[in-house]
Amino acid sequence: MLWKMAFRNIFRQKRRSLFTALSMIIGFVMLSVTMALSEGGYGNIIKMFTKDHTGHVQIHHKEYLERPGLYRSLVYTKKIEKIITENREIKHAVPRVFSGGLAFIDEKTTGARIVGIQPAQEAKATTILNKVEKGEYLSDHWNPDKKAEVLLSHGMASILKAKVGSELVLISQGADGSIANDLFTVTGIFAKDFDTMDRMNIYMHINKAQEFLVLNNKIHEIALFLDDYLDSTKVAKQLKKNLAGVESTLAVDTWMDVEQTFYRSMEADKSGSWIMNLIIILIVGIGVLNTVLMVILERTREYGILLALGSRPYMLIGMIVVETFILSIISSIIGALLSLLAIWPLKVYGITYPEPVSIGGITIESINGAYVPIAFWMPIVVVISTAVIVSLIPAFKAAHTDPVKAMRTF
């Protein structure tokens, strides 16, 4: 009976109910769009960062992250490879070799970071292939009898005045204590937007890097790529457990551990966004409270008549709360549908910043929204809970109104 009366009251005064619902719908859409930009935008940045650079999980020698060095390497054995391939959440496993060195072209000299990669696997897992602006990507087939090819970052090419086809001399230290030096051909140069984290990188085939640095079959990193970056911690725990009995010198770390500066920058920025979200939640709550209170005050005479006819105060409170609850559910459904439309252009086109913003070394020129679950369930929880809670205040006020005085109001 209570639910039936509440439902009928909503549609008895359509204009009043519409005005109340509009307050909730506007609040819902505002919060939903904000969450879509905040959570979705940060999610897109993380995806871009992990896809271009770190991967989602990395395997190293246990001392490598603390003190990266040529000698802190590992052997990518068949047992390790089997454990990785058996994990269905891992889509790509990319081995890498790193070292420092000096690069020369004619009279130009600069320090460089040598990166050995498997070209085909790296191209499948990351966006590196699409970042080559001039020349060609590395050949997947390495010929030890042919002069080795290298890819230069845009910054490195600018410093060395390098062009496609230029001959580059690299000097480094070999793992056996010798001086490593060799002549390479510049086969490609990356676009400028790839330089944010990799300005001083020189890429070569991993087999050539191992030969050049006298590493034999050793590597420094296995970067693992998943479908969803949110699974990073879970996958890392699984690998730690499975690899513990195979090799005690290995460490498994998530991208949050590997790139702590970037992760902390993201968390700090997200904390600032949550302050804005809380302000919007407060605005929604005040708007709903104001509307519900106004509506209940307009119905003072109606409540007085119900009390005079013998209605119990708790029934009146229940009816008001149920009315607000039903109206908030209807408003949330409409708000969710409108939010789908409102988020779409933000997802497709995004919002361009007047000036590029740097977060943890990544330059962001625009922010895009996304259809993330929190952009819908959070507004639903906020609108419904806020509406019900704020309705209790005027409901108690109406339930304890003097029927005689209430019926004299117009």
Name the band, by pLDDT with cuts 50, 70 and 90, for residue 26: confident
- Residue 185: predicted pLDDT: 92
Question: End of a domain among 186, 213, 248?
Answer: 248
Number of independent structural domains in the chain:
2
Question: Is 58 inside a domain boundary?
Answer: no
Domain match, 156 and 298 both:
no
Question: Is 335 inside a domain boundary?
Answer: yes
Domain match, 396 and 298 both:
yes
The predicted model gives 386-395 an average pLDDT of 78
Domain match, 355 and 312 both:
yes
Name the band, by pLDDT with cuts 50, 70 and 90, for residue 92: very high
pLDDT of 317 over the 80 cut:
no
Domain match, 68 and 44 both:
no
The predicted model gives 372-383 an average pLDDT of 87
The predicted model gives 86-105 an average pLDDT of 92
Domain match, 109 and 137 both:
yes
Question: Is 253 inside a domain boundary?
Answer: no
Domain match, 77 and 175 both:
yes
- Residue 264: predicted pLDDT: 76
Instruction: Tell me which DSSP letter residue 131 carries.
Output: G
pTM for this one?
0.73
What does the mean pLDDT of the chain come to? 82
- Residue 204: predicted pLDDT: 94
Question: What distance, in Å, lies between the first and last C-alpha atoms of the chain?
Answer: 27
Domain match, 77 and 208 both:
yes
246-297 pLDDT, tens digit each: 777 899 999 888 877 777 777 776 676 777 777 777 776 777 677 767 766 6
Question: Is 195 inside a domain boundary?
Answer: yes
The residue count for the chain: 410
The CA dihedral of 242, 245, 249, 252, to the nearest 10 degrees, is 10
CA 349 – CA 121 distance, rounded (Å): 31
- Residue 205: predicted pLDDT: 94
Domain match, 73 and 150 both:
yes
Question: Is 355 inside a domain boundary?
Answer: yes
- Residue 219: predicted pLDDT: 94
pLDDT of 195 over the 60 cut:
no
CA 76 – CA 340 distance, rounded (Å): 46
- Residue 192: predicted pLDDT: 75
Roughly what angle, to the nearest 10 degrees, separates helices 260-298 and 300-308?
A: 60
- Residue 183: predicted pLDDT: 92
Higher pLDDT, 90 or 363: 90
Domain match, 43 and 126 both:
no
Question: Is 257 inside a domain boundary?
Answer: no
Question: Is 258 inside a domain boundary?
Answer: no
pLDDT of 401 over the 60 cut:
yes
Domain match, 105 and 224 both:
yes
pLDDT of 410 over the 60 cut:
no
- Residue 140: predicted pLDDT: 83
pLDDT of 394 over the 90 cut:
no
Question: Is 56 inside a domain boundary?
Answer: no
pLDDT of 375 over the 70 cut:
yes
320-369 pLDDT, tens digit each: 788 788 888 988 999 999 999 999 988 888 777 676 665 555 566 667 78
Higher pLDDT, 392 or 103: 103
- Residue 300: predicted pLDDT: 66
132-190 pLDDT, tens digit each: 889 999 988 877 767 889 999 888 888 999 999 999 999 999 988 889 999 999 999 98
Question: End of a domain among 223, 248, 273?
Answer: 248
Least confident of 57-61, 201-205, 300-304: 300-304
Domain match, 81 and 29 both:
no
Domain match, 81 and 112 both:
yes
CA 195 – CA 361 distance, rounded (Å): 10
SS3 content of the chain, % helix, strand, coil (to 5): 55, 25, 20
Q: Is 334 exposed, middle or buried (0-12, 13-18, 19+ CB in 10 A)?
A: middle
- Residue 299: predicted pLDDT: 67
- Catalogue the long-range contacts made by 402-409 (C-beta closer than 8 Å, 24 or more residues apart): 402/304, 403/304, 403/305, 403/307, 403/308, 404/304, 404/308, 405/304, 406/300, 406/301, 406/303, 406/304, 406/305, 406/307, 407/301, 407/304, 407/305, 407/308, 408/301, 409/300, 409/301, 409/304
Host domain of residue 226? 63-248
Question: End of a domain among 248, 283, 318?
Answer: 248
Name the band, by pLDDT with cuts 50, 70 and 90, for residue 2: low
